[in-house]
Every structure is written in C-alpha cells, then in structure tokens.
Amino acid sequence: MHVTNRSIFHPHPHGTYRIAVNDKVESTTVYLYDEIGVFGVMAEQFVKDLEGIKTPRIDLRINSPGGMAFEGVTMYNALVRHPAHVVAHVDGLAASIAAVITMGANEVQIAPNAFLMIHEPWSMVVGGVDELRHEADVLDKVAGKIVETFVQRTGASQEQVLDWMGDETWFTAEEAIAAKFVDAIDEEPNADGAKNLFDLSVFARTPAVLLESKTPPTERDLERVLRDAGCSRAQAKSIIARGFAAEQREAAVPEPQKELREAAPVPKDAVAALLAKVDIQLATARKETEA
C-alpha cells in the first residue's frame, strides 16, 4: 500500500497558511498554522510572500509543530532581515523549528494556554557506521546554531539551553516568559489558533492536554486516507458509508450482546479503528473493480 503526502504530524487535513492586510493598511497578519516544510509551508513561498509585504508591522500568528530544520532556519533569517517590526504571536504551539522561527521576530507574545517547545534536532539516515557518524556530526552543528539563536534571545547560558533541548522542554506561557523566550502574554489571542491540529505523539514528553485535544477525524479525512491508499473517490465514499452504517448497527445491538462485543480489544485511534473495520470491504471493492 502506497500512501502519499503523509506527515507524522498530520492525522487530519493540513492547517492554514495565509496573509491578510488590515483595513488601515498599517500591518499585515501572516497565519502560520501548519507544519514547516514539504507537508506544510515551504520556505520558498514564505520568503517570497514576506518580501512582498510593505507594511511597517507584521503580525506573525503561529500554531505549528515544527518540521524541516533548514526550511525553518531560512524562514527565521527572512524575518530577521525584514525591515518591518515583526510581532510573533504563539496562538497555540511553537514547537521544534517553529520555536526557532518565532525567535526571528522583534517581539514575541504568547496566548495564556499556548506552549513553546524546544528539543535536539532529529534526522533519518540509512547507511554504515561512516554515514551515521557523519550525520551525527551534522546534527551537532545544526544543534549548535539553534543553541546560539536561543542564547541570543534569552540570555541564558549555552549549558542551560542544551539542557532544555536535551530534555525536550515544553514551556507554558508563564514558563516561556520566565525563560525569556517570550516577552509577554498576548492580551488578544486568536482563539481559533489555539486548537491542536496535529498529532504530537511523535514527541517524547508531549503534555497530556495536547494529546487529548486532537480533533476527531471527519468523513472527509477518512476519504482522503482511502484515496491515498488507491481507492477511487466512489469506492472511498462507498466504503465509508458502509463503515458508518456498521457503526450504527453496532449501536443498535441489545446490551447483553454489546457487552460481549466490547470485551474484544478496540484500537484507540479512530482512523485505525474504522480502517480495520472496512479492510475487508476495501479488498472486496478492489476485486470488484478488477473483475
């Protein structure tokens, strides 16, 4: 099964990236509510859009789990060299390389219920010992530059920043201000930006509140998964319809029988559970198509 365009952070459709100029034409708001990199916002597009902004102020509203390090560094540098006064607003989450991007602003504000997270950079590599050692050296260099960025913003020592990164530290709004990553609480946060759009289970120390707030998948989400798996749109809709019909029949089962069925283990993830139920239907649909 080949599944295309699947990010580790996106169990659902991608977030939002857009630019809005206010009525007074004094400031421009950039909404960065997505992953950084190939599955979300690419640096090339971000930099081009930023270069086109001529207002004296830019409000960068962020809700991002991070993503590709060098894409994020490019975006950070673009913010630093822009002549406008940039105010970064952490509306929901600024994690990983998204935290670095945030540091490119002239000032940073954070919503009372938002988080900022920093950790050591990751990489994926396949090869022998020489390739692995080389990749480790590269990661050390990347980490070193990220440490410099955080030290410059916070005034903390390199040792302190390295400890925070090594511990995968999740800062609440108050903690981020105390550590001087953030300047102040945002008095007018964007409530929509505080929603957790991402699967953060890939991280080791994600706060429970962020793991529990994932939005349940919609029928459209499930249809996208099935179409990525090779189904036609009609097949996907048919499978989903039969799957939800099965759910309704399950709900109508008398209590004694329902208790027997509930004794069997059920996958926790809603998407995995539904796909498991329709797996046979998927195979059947493909056979029908081939016939």
Q: How do residues 227-243 score in pLDDT, each as one tens digit? A: 766 778 888 788 877 77
Higher pLDDT, 219 or 268: 219
Residues 244 and 155 in one domain: no
In this prediction, residues 65-88 reach a mean pLDDT of 94
Residues 184 and 264 in one domain: no
Q: Say what the pLDDT of residue 156 is.
A: 95
Higher pLDDT, 51 or 199: 51
Domain range for 157? 16-212
In a domain, 6, yes or no: no
3-state SS, residue 64: strand
In a domain, 129, yes or no: yes
Residues 198 and 226 in one domain: no
Residue 40, pLDDT > 90, answer no
Select which of 27, 64, 119, 201 is catalytic: 119
Residues 6+ apart with CB under 8 A from 187: none
Residues 207 and 259 in one domain: no
Q: What is the pLDDT of residues 138-147, one digit of tens each?
A: 887 888 889 9
Output the domain CATH number for residue 108. 3.90.226.10
Name the β-bridge partners of 171: 116
* Last residue in a domain, options 212, 242, 277: 212
Q: What is the pTM of this model?
A: 0.67
Residues 175 and 248 in one domain: no
3-state SS, residue 56: coil
Residues 73 and 130 in one domain: yes
Residues 205 and 260 in one domain: no
Q: Say what the pLDDT of residue 249 is.
A: 59
Residue 166, pLDDT > 70, answer yes
| Cβ atoms within 10 Å of 71's Cβ, excluding its own | 22
Residues 183 and 235 in one domain: no
Residues 197 and 58 in one domain: yes
* Last residue in a domain, options 165, 187, 212: 212
**What is the domain count for the chain?**
2
Residues 93 and 184 in one domain: yes
**Residue 13 — very low, low, confident or very high, per pLDDT cuts 50/70/90?**
very low
**Residue 194 — very low, low, confident or very high, per pLDDT cuts 50/70/90?**
low
Q: What is the pLDDT of residues 96-153, one digit of tens each?
A: 999 999 999 999 999 999 999 999 887 777 788 888 888 788 887 888 889 999 999 9
Answer yes or no: 96 catalytic. yes
Higher pLDDT, 259 or 189: 189
* Last residue in a domain, options 175, 193, 212: 212
Are the C-beta atoms of residues 122 and 92 closer than 8 Å to each other?
no
Select which of 7, 12, 64, 96 is catalytic: 96
Amino acid sitting at position 78: A
Higher pLDDT, 224 or 44: 44
In a domain, 208, yes or no: yes
Residues 286 and 169 in one domain: no
Residues 40 and 147 in one domain: yes
Answer yes or no: 134 catalytic. no
In a domain, 3, yes or no: no
